[in-house]
Structure 1
Amino acid sequence: MVIRGCFLVLILFATFSCFSLKLCFGQDRITFSTPIKDSETLLCNNGIFRFGFFTPLNSTTRLRYVGIWYDKVQVQTVVWVANKDTPINDTSGVISISDKGNLVVTNGLNRLVWSTNVAVTVAPNATWVQLMDTGNLRLQDNGEILWESFKHPYNSFLPVMNFGTNNRTGENLNLTSWKSNTDPSTGNYTACISHSPFPQIMILKSNVPIWRSGPWNGQIFIGLPDSISLLFLDGFNVSNDNKGTFLISYATDSFMHHFNLDPDGNLYMRSWNTSTRAWMVDAIIPSTTCDAYNICGPFASCSLQEVPPCKCVRGYVPRNITEWNRGIFTSECVRRVPLKCNASTGGGGGGKGDGFFKMQKMKVPANVEKSIANEKDCPKQCINNCSCTAYAYDRGIGCMLWSGSLVDMQSLLGSGIDLYIRVSHSEFKTHGKRTVMITASVLGVVFIAAVCVLLACRTFKKRPEKDRSAELLFQRMEELTSGNESASKQVKLKDLPLFEFEVLATSTDNFSLRNKLGQGGFGPVYKGILPEGQEIAVKRLSRASGQGLEELLNEVVVISKLQHRNLVKLLGCCIEGEERLLVYEYMPKKSLDAYLFDTLRQSILDWKARFNIIEGICRGLLYLHRDSRLKIIHRDLKASNILLDENLNPKISDFGLARVFQVNEDEANTRRVVGTYGYMSPEYAMEGFFSEKSDVFSLGVIFLEIISGKKNSHKEDNNLNLLAYAWKLWNDGQAASLADPTVFDECFEKEITKCVQIGLLCVQEFASDRPNVSTVIWMLTTENTNLPVPKQPAFIVRRRVSEAECSDQSSQKVSINDVSLTAITGR
């Protein structure tokens, strides 16, 4: 009896504890009998999201709001707010289920502050609220979801959530900004899907457009740059029934991603970096000056490659030329010559009627009109309509027409479509005459400049050595860019910072060995500190190096104007006497190989960090190949040329051997093979052919090195190199065994296997079989498992070259490991 009595007491105690601590329903639920007070919160089962009362970070008030935020994130990241416009001014608030079955928030006086406000037809004690693992807060009964926060989004867009419009349910799932970073009340900005008449993303300020994505063509938004379009290709699912339903959702089951519309109207895409335990910004919209809606006014186009960026399109001139020249682009561009509507031509300016001027890679204007005309009839439909001012055709959209003003046009680099501007036939003749006049003027200026140069020769000889070096630098840069129109337009020579040798010597303590960071093909690299306190890395040309002024100038030309978070930033250079130096931003974690191939430091790079490094390298390479102002083939991509910042984010460096391609150039051939054997593609090493796919081969080798923590030259079973060993494991169905034991975890086995597969796809023997970088990124970030099956890699057996052979072939520059040598062997 005593035992039975004790047992009964234990049961009663457990039951009481269950209700008092809300353990019966878990910590992720609110029921009619278990409300939560201000000091209490809900935590979803996977521990990612928390729900309860909060005060915004850095707020000077004590106002309390009810919301959902990321748990275990150092910087408060709120993703949803309930009572955004009705805060509670003390800690007396309570969240509960009302007697009508709704979720409600009340203050200390039991006054209603916020409610889900749905018609509930069941008893109040039959409903409950649960915080799901996705961050979705649901009000439900046993058989139905009555209300959910995902159907009432605020400033954040999370995985599994839908963003857009649903014609079937009448839902408009928009994002709305906070008023400020410390005030969650309704702000001025809204991000939404507009159907006018094609779906596009828009950001509005007080219902006035400030940015738009351009129309959806079934694959991408055609007004976005390639780098952001790629996000929608491989990172999102899109549902479009062409009847008013257009929904976007993340194509990932990882919840550590989100979009956030900030109080200034900027849309940030962020992902969680497990290595740095911080949010990483993947994209910002709008990201450039040209992205601002109608920044240049009607009939003008914005281009980041132009100075000033705004320019009237063909056939139009600024109404107020004085304001235009001062950089004030609010003045409308007006037509130079009136159209002759009734005397139409077929569209080329061949007759006396109007014609069309083609503008390539354009973000098409706003206020588009839909047409059912096919590609052939689209220009005819425009030319036969007196009010039509432009047309465009996209296979995913069809015929697009514009009437009246053309606004919000932008010239893009890798994306965009062809836009045809309607102009008078005389504009084609005027342009021809103007070209002749411009040519004559240029020749005149060149003649005068030549005379001035001859007169200045005598004084030039008397200039100090460093000034002559600067002149030499600019002269050689002009020579290097003269064969490439794109490059010559982009490189602003006079903007290049020139450092004095004395300043760099002082900053590095006269190139002290204790400041030496490493040794590259160009020469040693030293850490320095400028007088203003900025840390720098100084690369100094070694006299024993096979590289010289040409490689230095090539690197300056290539990266002086490139801006990407996965490319190292060049700060300037120095040429004085025999000294050749390049100055970069300082990378505190040094190079990737210093971690991968060091047994004491390998464990610092866990699998998540390695995957992030892989993805970062790919995005940097995509920028070089497709999204940058210049189309660049690196030609020396390897682990030692990947630098790491303080957050272990990768940055591609060493562009001394890079090649700038023409816009329409896909492949080139050279007798001067440069690069690093082991990373060089077979068609390049053997025949001198290089292209984007050459860099992809090097990328594949880096993939396998990052996964395994071993150099490509490392020998495994049966004296196999890394590529051969990875191929053997793949065929044996043991690809994940390639992984470095210090990072292998069964939960990552699927991801590791996929990365091995992608690496093997990149190192296939024939360039045509290899994917391009955008496809590599898609394969990395998608959950799709139906990837191509790789073919056998290029196993290139190399023999050592004798010193005699080296001297005979000294015209071919390559390098071994990190030291440049004049030899046929690779570095």
Structure 2
Amino acid sequence: MEDQGSHMAGSPYRLPHRRLMDTAPAASASEPGHSRSNGMHIMVSILVVVIACTLLYCVYCWRWRKRNAVRRAQIESLRPLSNSDLPLMDLSSIHAATNNFSKENKLGEGGFGPVYKGVLGEGAEIAVKRLSARSRQGAAEFRNEVELIAKLQHRNLVRLLGCCVEKDEKMLIYEYLPNRSLDAFLFDTRKSAQLAWKMRQSIILGIARGILYLHEDSCLKVIHRDLKASNVLLDNKMNPKISDFGMAKIFEGEGNEVNTGHVVGTYGYMAPEYAMEGVFSVKSDVFSFGVLVLEILSGQRNGAMYLQAHQQTLIQDAWKFWNEDRAAELMDASLAGSYSRDEAWRCFHVGLLCVQENPDLRPTMSNVVLMLISDQMQMPAPAEPPLFARLKKVSVSEFSLAMKTETTKTQSVNDVSITMIEPR
């Protein structure tokens, strides 16, 4: 024992070695638990990321399927109508006809979207109305226009040749009218001289016959709701053709008027009862027609710019000049007095009867046509048109949301405000 003790005491390595041996098991015992804890945290983190990614993917797939289901439903709802009443045109043919919707082929742009000129393989010219992704109008208005105009055929309505519903595209294909719209002539001082009196008279009568067909003579009773100069197209012989039926409504049953909470149309052409109360009827179209007649006679637009320049609307000026026997002062200067006074005054009188404030006093379109073609028909004195008392400044965004704006080159999206007319 002594030898062993003296041996151990005499060895300089025994004590440190013993201490090392004493501490080694504790250190080695703690390492497996620590590594297991780190591994668990890593596995949990990976699992959370995988679950989150899986959920995001599932949400994406659900939204994608839902969006495609809606699109398929819209397309399928259109196909039966198109197959039975209207030819379907394939997208590749339209791309070829319009040179892939090139800027050179663009004719203009409206609430629905841009319109392009196209030439089919056999040489036929077409106008392609393409639904814009940013358009306030959508599948409902697209279907509405297809349903309506496919069933309506009249020489004073634009002719729909077909439609395209492919991929994300919705397009209407119309006959191409080389002279574009009436407002391009009427409100352009360089072109207005091309509208001689006989031509203006023919355009007024043609529009009246087109509206009469919609109201009384077609298989449907249709209210256009957006009759204005830019929605009257002119063919190569300057015959008028009413277009843009996206806002039109079919009257069902024996009802004479409808109250809607959603007012659409273009300010300056809207009847007061529709603009203020949301009530529309065939007499709403009659009012719009009356405004259009006075614009054709005067060569001026009934809108905010006219009000700012004259302190009252075009229709109020027309009524004032009529009562004061000064109607000649409102006639378009580009006519240079070259018109039949009797014919012009008859049109003037009809226009004023159509814009009377009380819809019951406005004539029907059948009476309008009779008054325009007969110089023997007795016409009542027109009552005063609706009054507008003050101007209100609104932002461009508010104005755009309220209703479709007039398409004029004088308006700019950079303006701080646009002047609107408020009824008294």
State TM-score, norm by structure 2: 0.75
Aligned to 1:715: 306
Distance in 2 (alpha carbons) for counterparts of 1:806 and 1:817: 11
Q: CA RMSD in A?
A: 2.8
Sort the Cα spacing of 1:527 and 1:747 in 2 relative to 1 into closer, same or farther, 3 A: closer
| 1:118-152 residue CA offsets vs partner (Å, 9 max, x unmatched) | xxxxxxxxxxxxxxxxxxxxxxxxxxxxxxxxxxx
2:137 to 544, 547, 561: 547
Aligned to 1:472: 74
- Please give the residue correspondences for 1:577-616 in structure 2 after superposition, counting only pairs within 5 Å: 577-616=167-206
2:281 to 685, 688, 691: 691
Q: What is the identity, as a one-letter code, of the residue corresponding to 1:521?
A: G
- Please give the residue correspondences for 1:226-245 in structure 2 after superposition, counting only pairs within 5 Å: none
1:643 counterpart = 2:197: no
1:743 Cα offset (Å): 1.7
Distance in 2 (alpha carbons) for counterparts of 1:704 and 1:771: 16
**Paired residue secondary structure (2:254):** coil
Sort the Cα spacing of 1:657 and 1:705 in 2 relative to 1 into closer, same or farther, 3 A: same
1:579 Cα offset (Å): 1.8
1:627 counterpart = 2:217: yes
Conserved? CA contact 2:82–2:88, under 8 Å: no
Select between 612-621 and 551-560 the one with higher mean Cα deviation: 551-560
Aligned to 2:326: 734
Q: What is the identity, as a one-letter code, of the residue corresponding to 2:300?
A: K
Conserved? CA contact 2:85–2:150, under 8 Å: no
Conserved? CA contact 1:607–1:744, under 8 Å: no
1:799 counterpart = 2:392: yes
1:749 counterpart = 2:341: yes
Q: What is the identity, as a one-letter code, of the residue corresponding to 1:635?
A: R
1:763 counterpart = 2:359: no
Distance in 1 (alpha carbons) for counterparts of 2:329 and 2:121: 50
Sort the Cα spacing of 1:541 and 1:750 in 2 relative to 1 into closer, same or farther, 3 A: same
Distance in 1 (alpha carbons) for counterparts of 2:172 and 2:113: 10
- TM superposition outliers: structure 1 runs of 4+ over 6 Å: none
Sort the Cα spacing of 1:560 and 1:473 in 2 relative to 1 into closer, same or farther, 3 A: farther
**Paired residue secondary structure (2:116):** strand
Sort the Cα spacing of 1:769 and 1:744 in 2 relative to 1 into closer, same or farther, 3 A: farther
Q: What is the identity, as a one-letter code, of the residue corresponding to 1:507?
A: A
Sort the Cα spacing of 1:728 and 1:565 in 2 relative to 1 into closer, same or farther, 3 A: same
1:550 Cα offset (Å): 1.3
Conserved? CA contact 2:297–2:331, under 8 Å: yes
Q: What is the identity, as a one-letter code, of the residue corresponding to 2:394?
A: V
Sort the Cα spacing of 1:636 and 1:806 in 2 relative to 1 into closer, same or farther, 3 A: closer
1:789 counterpart = 2:377: no
Conserved? CA contact 2:89–2:163, under 8 Å: yes
Distance in 2 (alpha carbons) for counterparts of 1:636 and 1:715: 20
Sort the Cα spacing of 1:598 and 1:804 in 2 relative to 1 into closer, same or farther, 3 A: closer
Aligned to 2:12: none
1:610 Cα offset (Å): 0.3
Structure 2: gaps spanning 5 or more residues: 1-63
Aligned to 1:816: 405
Sort the Cα spacing of 1:477 and 1:637 in 2 relative to 1 into closer, same or farther, 3 A: farther
Sort the Cα spacing of 1:468 and 1:708 in 2 relative to 1 into closer, same or farther, 3 A: same
Sort the Cα spacing of 1:743 and 1:806 in 2 relative to 1 into closer, same or farther, 3 A: closer
Distance in 2 (alpha carbons) for counterparts of 1:596 and 1:776: 22
Aligned to 1:703: 293
1:747 Cα offset (Å): 5.4
1:804 Cα offset (Å): 7.7
Distance in 2 (alpha carbons) for counterparts of 1:750 and 1:736: 12
Q: What is the identity, as a one-letter code, of the residue corresponding to 2:312?
A: L
**Paired residue secondary structure (2:334):** coil
**Paired residue secondary structure (2:353):** helix
Sort the Cα spacing of 1:726 and 1:580 in 2 relative to 1 into closer, same or farther, 3 A: same
Distance in 1 (alpha carbons) for counterparts of 2:118 and 2:210: 26
More helix per residue: 2
Paired residue total: 345
**Paired residue secondary structure (1:527):** strand
**Paired residue secondary structure (1:710):** coil
- Please give the residue correspondences for 1:670-685 in structure 2 after superposition, counting only pairs within 5 Å: 670-685=260-275
1:477 Cα offset (Å): 8.4
**Paired residue secondary structure (1:568):** coil
Conserved? CA contact 1:541–1:580, under 8 Å: yes
Distance in 1 (alpha carbons) for counterparts of 2:236 and 2:398: 43
Distance in 2 (alpha carbons) for counterparts of 1:803 and 1:533: 42
Aligned to 1:154: none
Conserved? CA contact 2:74–2:139, under 8 Å: no
Q: What is the identity, as a one-letter code, of the residue corresponding to 2:306?
A: K
Conserved? CA contact 2:158–2:174, under 8 Å: yes
1:492 Cα offset (Å): 7.3
Distance in 2 (alpha carbons) for counterparts of 1:498 and 1:800: 46
Distance in 1 (alpha carbons) for counterparts of 2:293 and 2:181: 15
1:665 Cα offset (Å): 2.3
1:785 Cα offset (Å): 5.9
1:817 Cα offset (Å): 1.4
1:508 counterpart = 2:98: yes
Distance in 1 (alpha carbons) for counterparts of 2:209 and 2:139: 29
| 1:165-214 residue CA offsets vs partner (Å, 9 max, x unmatched) | xxxxxxxxxxxxxxxxxxxxxxxxxxxxxxxxxxxxxxxxxxxxxxxxxx
Q: What is the identity, as a one-letter code, of the residue corresponding to 2:376?
A: N
Distance in 2 (alpha carbons) for counterparts of 1:806 and 1:637: 19
1:612 Cα offset (Å): 0.2
Sort the Cα spacing of 1:495 and 1:718 in 2 relative to 1 into closer, same or farther, 3 A: closer
Distance in 2 (alpha carbons) for counterparts of 1:468 and 1:542: 18
Distance in 2 (alpha carbons) for counterparts of 1:572 and 1:556: 9
Conserved? CA contact 1:473–1:553, under 8 Å: no
| 1:602-629 residue CA offsets vs partner (Å, 9 max, x unmatched) | 1111000000000000000000000111
1:636 Cα offset (Å): 0.1
Sort the Cα spacing of 1:800 and 1:633 in 2 relative to 1 into closer, same or farther, 3 A: farther
1:740 Cα offset (Å): 0.9
Q: What is the identity, as a one-letter code, of the residue corresponding to 1:756?
A: F
Conserved? CA contact 1:633–1:691, under 8 Å: yes
| 1:14-51 residue CA offsets vs partner (Å, 9 max, x unmatched) | xxxxxxxxxxxxxxxxxxxxxxxxxxxxxxxxxxxxxx
Distance in 1 (alpha carbons) for counterparts of 2:174 and 2:207: 18
| Percentage of matched positions with identical amino acids | 51
1:573 counterpart = 2:175: no
Q: What is the identity, as a one-letter code, of the residue corresponding to 2:349?
A: Q
Distance in 1 (alpha carbons) for counterparts of 2:72 and 2:93: 16
| 1:374-421 residue CA offsets vs partner (Å, 9 max, x unmatched) | xxxxxxxxxxxxxxxxxxxxxxxxxxxxxxxxxxxxxxxxxxxxxxxx
Structure 1: gaps spanning 5 or more residues: 1-460, 479-490
Aligned to 2:370: 778
Distance in 1 (alpha carbons) for counterparts of 2:391 and 2:231: 23
1:794 Cα offset (Å): 1.3
Conserved? CA contact 2:158–2:175, under 8 Å: yes
Larger Rg: 2
1:665 to 252, 255, 280: 255
Conserved? CA contact 2:197–2:338, under 8 Å: no
Q: What is the identity, as a one-letter code, of the residue corresponding to 2:375?
A: E
Distance in 1 (alpha carbons) for counterparts of 2:393 and 2:113: 24
Q: What is the identity, as a one-letter code, of the residue corresponding to 1:558?
A: L
1:786 Cα offset (Å): 2.9
Distance in 2 (alpha carbons) for counterparts of 1:670 and 1:477: 29
- Please give the residue correspondences for 1:108-257 in structure 2 after superposition, counting only pairs within 5 Å: none
**Paired residue secondary structure (2:306):** coil
Aligned to 1:12: none
1:499 to 89, 111, 122: 89
1:558 to 148, 162, 179: 148
